[in-house]
Amino acid sequence: MTAKLISGTEVAAQIRAEIKQEVEQLKAKHNIVPGLATVLLGLDPASVSYITGKEKAAKELGFYSERIDLPDNTPQQEVMAIVNRLNNDPKIHGVLVQVPLPKHINETEVLLAIDPKKDVDGFHPFNVGKMVIGEPDYLPCTPAGIQQLLIRSGIQTDGAEVVVVGRSNIVGKPIANILLQKAKGANATVTVCHTRTKDMAFHTRRADILIVAAGRPKAITADMVKEGAVVIDVGVNRIGMSKSGKAILAGDVDFDAVKEKASFITPVPGGVGPMTITMLMQNTLKAAKLTAGIK
């Protein structure tokens, strides 16, 4: 079997067109422009690339966008003061602080300081709690994007055996939670594997849907995948540099071998990546509507 490609680029374009239309209506009917602020400490190339993509998408969709780039030695108090200012700025509906933060910063304290109503990343414990009890306002963007890819590709999650590889707060834990909810596009039986899992392949071979966020190229090889499985690759690994100086990216899955076994597979780049930014835009639009009391 050769897998069908799930194009995150195409699904993201579809959702962005829907968002753009809603933004135009929001402006015309209510004179509201969704506003997103991003805060970045330092010059980590992956983080700079994410933030640039987020800013670009916000502008393309007609959002108000504010980008705050800070040196990586910015003191905690200054970051807290900026978050506080953005919490109180009525032009801003969504506040995003790019993680990971430099070691001297207490990340939990920063994420706790973001007003949960403006927490378009869905990282604040208040929003994590709402997700877990099945009453989310803002789902974390990468897991929300994965769920949309499954739904919009017509992949049945109801009763499916889902195996997640990785237990990060950004991807592994939330996607496991989202897919086990009693809800449309969920209702799965979920297993989470991690670095202390005894026999990883035993679990991954049972998966109808395998979601991989391990952070390591070729963490999943063809022998670890069931014939006909749906494979979602969340990995973004920089494995080299092209002659023009662009990073060469690879996922966590041995794509060439696994695509011969899977029924559906996401490429890297062009799979989950474009969905993350799109779901951030959707959350920011939702924040603007919630603030104004619009359904």
Report, as residue numbers or ranges, the catalytic residues: 54, 98, 121
Among 55, 121, 233, 252, binds ligand GUN (CB under 6 A): 121
**Cβ partners under 8 Å of residue 59, min gap 6:** 65
SS3 203: helix
DSSP-derived secondary structure letter, 63: -
Number of Cβ within 10 Å of residue 13's Cβ equals: 12
**Cβ partners under 8 Å of residue 271, min gap 6:** 6, 7, 8, 149, 232, 233, 251
Report, in Å, the least distance between residue 213 CB and ligand GUN. 11
141 touches ligand GUN (CB under 6 A) = yes
Burial state string for 187-211 with b = 16 or more CB within 10 A and e = fewer than 16:
ebebbbbeeeeeebeebbbebbbbb
CA-CA distance, 8 to 276, in Å (whole number)? 9
In the bound complex, which residue of the shown chain has the CB atom lying closest to ligand GUN?
99
Q: For residue 158, what are its two tokens? A: 């109801």
Report, in Å, the least distance between residue 98 CB and ligand GUN. 5
Given the complex with ligand GUN, which of 45 and 159 has the nearer CB atom? 45
142 touches ligand GUN (CB under 6 A) = yes
Question: Which one of 81-89, 92-100, 208-216, 265-273 is the stretch in contact with ligand GUN (CB under 6 A)?
Answer: 92-100
262 touches ligand GUN (CB under 6 A) = no
Nearest to 282 by CA among 186, 139, 155: 139
82 touches ligand GUN (CB under 6 A) = no
Report, in Å, the least distance between residue 188 CB and ligand GUN. 22
282 touches ligand GUN (CB under 6 A) = no
CA dihedral 124, 130, 136, 140 (to 10 degrees): 30
With CB under 6 A as the rule, give the number of residues binding ligand GUN. 9
Site string for ligand GUN, 146-175 (x = CB under 6 A): ------------------------x-----
- The footprint of ligand GUN (CB under 6 A) covers 96-99, 121, 141-142, 170, 276
